[in-house]
Structure 1
Amino acid sequence: MNKVVTDIERTHFAPKDFSDRIAYMTVRFMRFFADAFFAGRYGHRAVVLETVAAVPGMVAGNIQHLKSLRRLKDDDGWIHTLLAEAENERMHLLTFINIAKPSTFERFLIIIAQGMFYNGFFLFYLLSNKTAHRIVGYLEEEAVHSYTEYLEGVDSGKYENVPAPQIAIDYWQLPQDARLREVIIAVRADEAKHRDVNHGFANTLTDG
């Protein structure tokens, strides 16, 4: 069985330049609307936001792939890391649709949000891949924060600790009697890893 990290440090990368501040303000703007719309409905929040979270890795991976082909140079492992991140976020989505059934309106919202974010992130990445990775780093900081609040709600009894979906048990190799609490812990650990990787990518691009 895979070892799931249970203690996650809620770190924050302090913006250091104009690019970082643009990335941070962009994410805070997105967070404002997420908080206003979902108002503590963390299961439904996860369904909608994970459809957005799975976009950056795929977009960045594709652009890095084309860049590697054009320059006839190795990508230093970035492509694999980014595509693996996109797949991991997609598994988060497939897990949470078994926990919080999205309404017709939320399915419509998913289409709109994904379309807007895909095109916006694509342009961000072409203009400044450093800013784009910093945006993802800040998005993942917010994800760690949100899943921590979700976990606290489960522990306090605010949200029912339902049985974990079989897809989550298989993917994270959880015990067959695993519950929602174990799923949240596993997802939060993934998000913390994506946070650190993308801030690391941004730092690498800053240093040239």
Structure 2
Amino acid sequence: MAATAAAASSATFALGRSSSGVSQLRPARGSSPLLIAGKRKSARISATLLTEKPNSPAPASQEPESLPGNEEQQEEARLASSSSSSSSDKPESWIIRVEQGFNLFATDFVIAILDRLYADRDYARFYVLETIARVPYFAFVSVLHMYESFGWWRRADYLKVHFAESWNELHHLLVMEALGGDERWFDRFLAQHIAVAYYFLTSLMYTISPRMAYHFSECVEKHAFSTYDKFIKAHGEELKKLPAPQVAVDYYTKGDLYMFDEFQTDRLPETRRPRVDNLYDVFVNIREDEWEHCKTMKACQVRGNLHSPHSTKLKDLPDEAQDEKEDEEDEEEVAECAGIVECAITATSHAERVRKKSTALLKQ
């Protein structure tokens, strides 16, 4: 048994260490169940637009139809669309352009550094990416907990989803560690110090503009997706010959998969159960996870547009019962705000929010 485990371990590391194989090949550069905004019946359409192609998972052997082919062109088109959809005298459209412009510049800057440092070391690069990718979700949860303490925020779904996202990224990181991505002291030092700086930057950004912070995280996740996608296409045959790390097998196929379903806000629970037969499957699953993060982060940029996939078991209800359930949840009075300035200015007590809700219902 020990000999078999040792052989599997050596095979697992072979891809990252081979002097003539994959380690010399470079990764390419550059790279809710319902989403709800306002009244849910009308939100289904807008959420569909935000999530590109909901409830249509891609086959493991190919990329989704809505993948970002050229990220820079997509972002430019998106900026142009946001500006054309609103009048030029509205300051918010310019604020959005500035926010997204900064995010794209910062992301491209970090990518350029990683491309230079990790041009021929795939697993080390992935280790750094996964260490960094977890950070925004820590920051979001930290700020939301602070808002909860002040009585400004009472949307538990955001906390649940963001924690599930961090849990998913943690297992990506564990996979990269199992593949030897953290062997060098310099890689650990660099990744951890970037993560600390990124945490404080994201926390500050989130307190000022959650929309900007979510877009920044979307940019990071898109780069991670693109990197894995090109790596899979370049090394697919080699990856299929190598065993999957046990941590990946356990995460994707064993035990309670509640947390795995929770971060995928564009899917109903239990509708995605990946296969993990070899290392190729592992990287395909990680790639698809990153795309699920992209969709969630994009949807979060619309205020109040996120609900836990487990918040309602809509798939088990008939259409009429679904509508009744949605109406009941719409009537719930929830504290929410966007950014610390708005939260501080508009903060009210629970009793006052209930009175305002009752008054509004009576007027209807």
TM-score by length of 1: 0.87
Asked which structure has the greater CA Rg, the reply is 2
| Equivalent residue number for residue 159 of structure 2 | 79
Question: Between Structure 1 and Structure 2, which shows a larger proportion of helix residues?
Answer: 1
State how 1:10-49 maps to structure 2 within 5 Å: 10-11=67-68, 12=71, 14=75, 15-16=78-79, 17-49=97-129
Does the Cα contact within 8 Å between 2:144 and 2:153 map onto a contact in 1?
A: no
Gap change, CA 1:161 and 1:127, over 3 Å in 2: farther
| Equivalent residue number for residue 288 of structure 2 | 189
Gap change, CA 1:190 and 1:4, over 3 Å in 2: same
1:90 aligns with 2:174: no
- Match for residue 109 of structure 1 among 167, 186, 190: 190
CA distance in 1 between partners of 2:113 and 2:228 (Å): 17
| Equivalent residue number for residue 56 of structure 1 | 136
Q: Alpha-carbon deviations, 1:91-146, whole Å to 9, x = none?
A: 10001111134212112212221222122222222222211110000111111100
CA distance in 2 between partners of 1:175 and 1:156 (Å): 17
| Equivalent residue number for residue 216 of structure 2 | 135
CA distance in 1 between partners of 2:185 and 2:129 (Å): 16
CA distance in 2 between partners of 1:147 and 1:66 (Å): 35
CA distance in 1 between partners of 2:300 and 2:128 (Å): 26
CA distance in 2 between partners of 1:175 and 1:82 (Å): 24
**SS of residue in 1 equivalent to 2:303:** helix
- Match for residue 179 of structure 1 among 278, 294, 316: 278
| Equivalent residue number for residue 249 of structure 2 | 169
State how 1:193-208 maps to structure 2 within 5 Å: 193-204=292-303
Gap change, CA 1:136 and 1:161, over 3 Å in 2: farther
Q: Which amino acid aligns with 1:105?
A: F
CA distance in 2 between partners of 1:26 and 1:76 (Å): 30
- Match for residue 231 of structure 2 among 143, 147, 150: 150
Q: Which amino acid aligns with 2:67?
A: R
CA distance in 1 between partners of 2:205 and 2:154 (Å): 23
Gap change, CA 1:68 and 1:4, over 3 Å in 2: farther
**SS of residue in 2 equivalent to 1:163:** coil
- Could you list the runs of 5+ residues in structure 1 that have no partner in the other structure? none
Does the Cα contact within 8 Å between 1:4 and 1:185 map onto a contact in 2?
A: no
Q: Alpha-carbon deviations, 1:141-194, whole Å to 9, x = none?
A: 11110000110122254x684211001011011667x21110011111111011
CA shift at 1:4, angstroms?
8.5
Gap change, CA 1:150 and 1:43, over 3 Å in 2: same
**SS of residue in 1 equivalent to 2:179:** coil
- Count, aligned residues: 203
Gap change, CA 1:27 and 1:161, over 3 Å in 2: farther
Does the Cα contact within 8 Å between 2:244 and 2:278 map onto a contact in 1?
A: yes
CA shift at 1:24, angstroms?
1.5
Q: Alpha-carbon deviations, 1:30-70, whole Å to 9, x = none?
A: 11111111114221111111111111111101211221332
CA distance in 2 between partners of 1:36 and 1:192 (Å): 25
- Could you list the runs of 5+ residues in structure 2 that have no partner in the other structure? 1-56, 80-96, 254-273, 306-337, 339-364
CA shift at 1:205, angstroms?
7.3
